[in-house]
Structure 1
Amino acid sequence: MPASDLLEVACDESGSDGENLTGGNTDVFAHASVRLTVEQAAAAVQEIRNRIRSPAEEYKANHLLREKHRAVLEWLLAPAGPIHGHAHVHLTEKRFFVVDRAVDLLLGPGTAQAEAVTLFRVGRGVFGDERWREFLAAANQLLRVRNDGEPRAPVQVFFREVDALRRAHAGTGISDVLDRLAAARPRADAYRAGLGDGPILVPVLNPLLPAIVATAAHWSADGRPVQLVHDRQNMLTPERIAWIAAMTRRAGVDLAGLRLVEARRDPRVQVADFLAGIARKIASDELNGRGDPPLTALLRPYVGTTSVWGDERSWVTLAPADEDRSPVP
């Protein structure tokens, strides 16, 4: 296939905490991609260096997020900047991702999305902060592949939480979801038992792999085959890359390939790294009620509408102007 027929896109991520999605260092996972030539990306990186003038050998998003470099950050994201119209960010709200995956596992794929959204949006207010955190932590442990304790302990802890919440909140608007979760214990037992059968190809709690599939789908919209160039990741084994290819084919996306490179050797991946870190921080600030409206407005055109996001207030703020509903996970 002639190179001119391929749409080559460079990618990187920010906010990976492994399987610890409810107690890690970050509450948002961002996967960014840019469609630039190597020359265009190199020029953007050099311009950032010229403007920031830090002696650091390798620049990261934190350089641009410092208040003293605010003007550089705004230049990078602005409509007249080097990446506007040539970049995309897929966001994952980690706590919602845990709830969504747990409900999907226990109640079945597809039909459980509404229940996950209801549970996430109502749960904290109904349960209270402390019990909500305990529920999220129990759901996280239930889904984790790695478990250093007794194999059945995560199931016992999770359903003990569910039973306690059912008793405390019977007859409320959330009791039906809790009742359905309580009845799904056999599914949880089967899931935990299956984790002992060997290496897990696609961990339920890993947001990177579905984000890559979503990224390929976004860029395939113009009809050309998409070639992804991605920063090296231990998660991206040949088997998982094959899974990504299979998922994109199932979605009708023409993914020509996924090639791994060292970020410092490809300026396009460096720009994607900048954008991922910047987007994660801006989105996290919105999620936690400390948003910066001018920066959020600059980020909005880059945010993908299929991002996995449950917080309605912050999503309305983050999503592109023509998208005012919660994204579909």
Structure 2
Amino acid sequence: MGTLEIACDESGSEGEKLIGGNTEVFAHAGVLLSEEAAAECIRETRDRIRSPATEYKANHLLRSKHRAVLVWLLAPTGPIYGRARVYLADKAFFAVQKIFEIAYDGPRGQASAVELYRIGPAAFGRERWTAFLEAFNEVMRGRVDPEAFDLVVASLAGMGGRAGELVGSLGGLPARRGAIPLLDPLIPAIVQAVAHWGEGTRPVSIMHDQHNGLTEERIAHIRRVAPLAGLRLADSFYEPRVQVADFLAGVARKIAEEELNGRGDTELVQLLRPYVDLASAWGDERSWASLGLGRVAV
């Protein structure tokens, strides 16, 4: 079997800034289309929207007056159905996962991360919970000393209860960060894209929209942890396959973020469901029951 080349793009990427940024959800889309099929998808989208813009982006599809075009794109009879997948990350949950991953030196704390994410805000109050996540985020970004996180942990652990017990189980954060950013969801998203499309049997190459986070060092890291046959960067303006991935990533992020915040559009959520990767980093039960049909996210 030959190498599959998957076109990818993201939406909501803010590097390692997970808390207090411009978006609450990160989305990474991959599409398996021929160049001709992708170009036809773009042509049809342009014919339906009729905007003079030189390059169409997801925000064109998200405008209420173009809702019919978005429904067409995602529908089972549409041009990308069965040929596309999107990895979602609720950034707050992704941060909690990383806290336990670092504290437990591996994935053993996954169940604890899910539990704390679900009970923490109510147990500590939204303000203290946000301060906890921000302290972790800033330490790992090298903005403040690790002791700042330790102080927040101590104060929350002292409040008692199951949430306090879970926080109290966390060890100190490392004083130094490695060269590979632990908190950027882009890297695990690409690793998962390789795993999904290759299914453990086929080599996968990625054609990704230009992104300053994809340095040679980080691409080399991805190659070490995933069977990546190759990764090249392309400009979505000239590459229709990447532009289609941009469409899916952008609309998926918006649909998922609205659902996470209790403002979901039932029709659009249902249309997005078949595209959502089960390996998405999502801890909220209610919204995941809609986005993932009750399937368990990790």
TM over 0.5: yes
Shift of 1:280: 0.2
**Which of 166, 170, 189 is the matching residue for 1:211?**
189
For 1:16-31, list aligned pairs within 5 A: 16-31=13-28
Please identify the structure whose Cα radius of gyration is greater. 1
Whether 2:203 is the aligned partner of 1:225: answer yes
Q: SS where residue 56 of structure 2 aligns?
A: coil
Is the Cα–Cα contact under 8 Å of residues 86 and 252 in structure 2 kept in the other structure?
A: yes
Q: Match for 1:202: what amino acid? A: I
Match of 2:132 in 1: 135
Is the Cα–Cα contact under 8 Å of residues 157 and 165 in structure 2 kept in the other structure?
A: no
- Structure 1 residue runs of 5 or longer lacking an equivalent are 148-152, 250-254
Shift of 1:222: 7.8
Match of 1:178 in 2: 167
Q: Match for 1:296: what amino acid? A: V
Is the Cα–Cα contact under 8 Å of residues 60 and 274 in structure 1 kept in the other structure?
A: yes
Q: SS where residue 229 of structure 2 aligns?
A: strand
Whether 2:157 is the aligned partner of 1:166: answer yes
**Which of 5, 11, 16 is the matching residue for 2:2?**
5
Match of 1:311 in 2: 284
Is the Cα–Cα contact under 8 Å of residues 15 and 213 in structure 2 kept in the other structure?
A: no
Distance 1:245 1:155 in 2: 30
Match of 1:260 in 2: 233
Is the Cα–Cα contact under 8 Å of residues 107 and 180 in structure 1 kept in the other structure?
A: no
Is the Cα–Cα contact under 8 Å of residues 93 and 309 in structure 1 kept in the other structure?
A: yes
Shift of 1:8: 1.4
**Which of 95, 101, 105 is the matching residue for 1:104?**
101
Shift of 1:295: 0.1
Distance 1:267 1:325 in 2: 32
- Structure 2 residue runs of 5 or longer lacking an equivalent are none
Is the Cα–Cα contact under 8 Å of residues 316 and 325 in structure 1 kept in the other structure?
A: yes
For 1:1-329, list aligned pairs within 5 A: 5-144=2-141, 146-147=142-143, 153-168=144-159, 170=160, 172-181=161-170, 184-185=171-172, 188=173, 191-192=174-175, 194-195=176-177, 200-221=178-199, 223-249=201-227, 255-319=228-292, 321=293, 324-328=294-298
Q: SS where residue 111 of structure 1 aligns?
A: helix
Give the CA RMSD over aligned residues. Answer: 1.4
Is the Cα–Cα contact under 8 Å of residues 10 and 246 in structure 2 kept in the other structure?
A: yes
TM-score, L = length of structure 2 = 0.96
Is the Cα–Cα contact under 8 Å of residues 138 and 157 in structure 1 kept in the other structure?
A: yes
Distance 2:145 2:266 in 1: 40
Distance 1:293 1:45 in 2: 26
Mean alpha-carbon deviation: is it higher for 124-133 or for 79-88? 124-133
TM-score, L = length of structure 1 = 0.87
What are the superposed Cα offsets for residues 55-112 of structure 1, whole Å, 9 maximum, x if unpaired? 1111110000000000000000000000000000001110111111112112221211
Shift of 1:6: 2.0
Q: Match for 1:274: what amino acid? A: F
Shift of 1:178: 2.0
Distance 2:139 2:296 in 1: 26
Shift of 1:154: 3.4
